[in-house]
């Protein structure tokens, strides 16, 4: 009997091809996606591969044959993990798919903000060459302190990039022992507050959960140095957007780079978009050509590994559901 794999959206051929090559696999690809089509397809699914599609409990309940859910990425806040656990269904992630791409985007935000590139570009194009040179400042990142919140796969990628630019790198991650951070050549800090007070810039690389929602808010943003920078390429909601707006508008936060927002797609009339000390992108950190290839291959291979009885527990978010 064939296993049915549902692709909620198309994925790169690096992943889809290894599914289509198997005679024992039926692939259903939704293009375009609709909730009705997804619900019809998932009723037949033994596996589902998700890019940005949410998977709530009611959709899981509509999938009686479901054996595995595979994320085309590493975030899973839009998947009802409790509902999967109740049925012993593993949730797997593409562990190394986007870590380089997200780290590079975060660091590009840092450099662009330090060099005031967005303002210089826009003003130079409209003939304000001398005026913008006189009115705006820029600074070097060398000698500055970058505070990295989260020392997982992406945090471990951005830290050496900052160090290569002669920055001091401080790390806060309550799940990682200080000795690991020190051995890697960075400075562990005991609390979020300590890291924020000493930082010239903070970049967030932690999951979104009850402990991290509004991690940066009116109170914590106020702890930062005047003119410091905020970067979030992790998940919308880690930064309180209303608080960030006020901090950017007042100039206390000198600039911010956001790839993620509370509401996505983000409406064009978002108040933050009226500020010129903000750089934004539409949640594309993991969408480089290389990341698409890596993530699609890993998300598909994780499914095949489960079917073949050789799933790597290290890619499983909820390993407690695996047979012992």
| pLDDT tens digits along 292-315 | 999 999 999 999 999 999 999 999
Q: Are 120 and 230 part of one and the same domain?
A: yes
Q: Indicate yes or no: pTM above 0.85.
A: yes
Q: Is 137 in the same domain as 35?
A: no
- Asked if residue 96 has pLDDT above 90, the reply is no
Q: What percent of the chain has pLDDT over 90?
A: 95
pLDDT in the model for residue 1: 85
Measured distance CA(44)–CA(291) in Å, rounded: 29
What share of residues in the chain are helix, strand, coil (percent, to 5)? 40, 15, 45
Cα–Cα distance between 143 and 162 in angstroms, integer? Answer: 10
List all residues 6 or more positions away from 324 whose beta carbon is below 8 Å from its beta carbon: none
Q: Same domain, yes or no, for 122 and 270?
A: yes
Instruction: Give pLDDT, residue 78.
Output: 92
Residues 182 and 299 placed together within one structural domain of the fold? no
Is 138 in the same domain as 199? Answer: yes
CB 320 within 8 A of CB 88: no
Q: Which residues are catalytic?
A: 235, 264, 283
Neighbours of 177 (CB within 10 A): 10
Q: How many CB atoms lie within 10 A of CB 323?
A: 5
How many domains is the chain built from? 2
Give pLDDT, residue 307: 98
Mean per-residue pLDDT for 127-139?
A: 90
Query: Is there a contact between 283 and 257 (Cβ–Cβ < 8 Å)?
Result: no
For residues 104 and 245, membership in a common domain is answered with yes
Of 55, 14, 9, nearest to 30 (Cα)?
9
DSSP 273: G
| Alpha helices for the chain (secondary structure H) | 13-20, 35-42, 57-61, 81-86, 99-114, 117-125, 129-135, 155-164, 178-183, 192-198, 218-222, 241-250, 289-307
180 or 286, greater pLDDT: 180
Assess whether 115 and 208 both reside in one domain: yes
Q: Which domain holds residue 176?
A: 99-280
pLDDT category, 85, cuts 50, 70, 90? very high
Same domain, 171 and 258: yes
What are the pLDDT digits (tens) for 16-52?
Answer: 999 999 999 999 999 999 999 999 999 999 999 999 8
In this structure, the answer to whether residues 125 and 270 fall within a common structural domain is yes
The confidence score (pLDDT) of residue 75 equals 86
Asked whether residue 131 falls in the same domain as residue 110, the answer is yes
Tens of pLDDT along 138-183? Answer: 999 999 999 999 999 999 999 999 999 999 999 999 999 999 999 9
Write down the pLDDT at residue 54: 95
The predicted structure's pLDDT at residue 276 = 94
**Closest C-alpha to 232, from 213, 212, 205, 210:** 205
Domain of 143, CATH number, reads 3.40.50.720
Is the domain of 138 the same as that of 252? yes
pLDDT digits over 238-275, tens only? 999 999 999 999 999 999 999 999 999 999 999 999 99
CA distance 18 to 13: 8
State the CB neighbour count (10 A cutoff) for residue 191: 10
Same-domain check for residues 164 and 238: yes
Residue-level pLDDT at 136:
76
Predicted pLDDT at 92? 98
């Amino acid at each position: 009997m064939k296993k049915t794999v549902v692709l909620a959206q198309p994925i790169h051929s690096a992943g889809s091809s290894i599914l289509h090559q198997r005679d024992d696999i039926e692939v259903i690809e939704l293009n375009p996606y609709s909730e009705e089509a997804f619900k019809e397809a998932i009723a037949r699914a033994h596996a589902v591969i998700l890019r940005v599609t949410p998977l709530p409990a009611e959709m899981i309940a509509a999938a009686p044959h479901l054996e595995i859910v595979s994320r085309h990425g590493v975030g899973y806040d839009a998947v009802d993990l409790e509902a999967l656990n109740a049925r012993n269904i593993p949730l797997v992630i593409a562990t190394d798919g986007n870590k380089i791409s997200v780290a590079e985007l975060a660091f590009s935000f840092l450099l662009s903000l330090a060099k005031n590139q967005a303002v210089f570009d826009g003003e130079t194009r409209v003939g304000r060459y001398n005026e913008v040179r006189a009115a705006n400042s820029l600074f070097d990142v060398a000698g500055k302190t970058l505070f990295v919140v989260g020392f997982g796969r992406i945090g471990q990628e951005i830290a050496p990039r900052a160090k290569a630019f002669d920055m001091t790198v401080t790390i806060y991650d309550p799940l990682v022992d200080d000795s690991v951070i020190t051995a890697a050549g960075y400075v562990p800090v005991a609390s979020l507050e300590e890291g924020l007070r000493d930082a010239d810039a903070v970049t967030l690389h932690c999951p979104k959960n009850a402990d991290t929602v509004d991690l940066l808010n009116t109170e914590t943003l106020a702890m930062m140095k005047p003119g410091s920078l905020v970067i979030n390429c992790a998940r919308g909601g880690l930064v309180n957007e209303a608080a960030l707006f006020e901090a950017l508008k007042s100039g206390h936060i000198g600039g911010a780079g956001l790839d993620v927002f509370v509401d996505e797609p983000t409406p064009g009339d978002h108040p933050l978009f009226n500020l010129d000390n903000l750089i934004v992108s539409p949640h594309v950190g993991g969408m480089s050509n290389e990341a698409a290839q890596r993530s699609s291959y890993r998300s598909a291979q994780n499914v095949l590994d489960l079917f073949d009885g050789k799933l790597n527990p290290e890619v499983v978010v909820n390993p407690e559901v695996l047979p012992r």
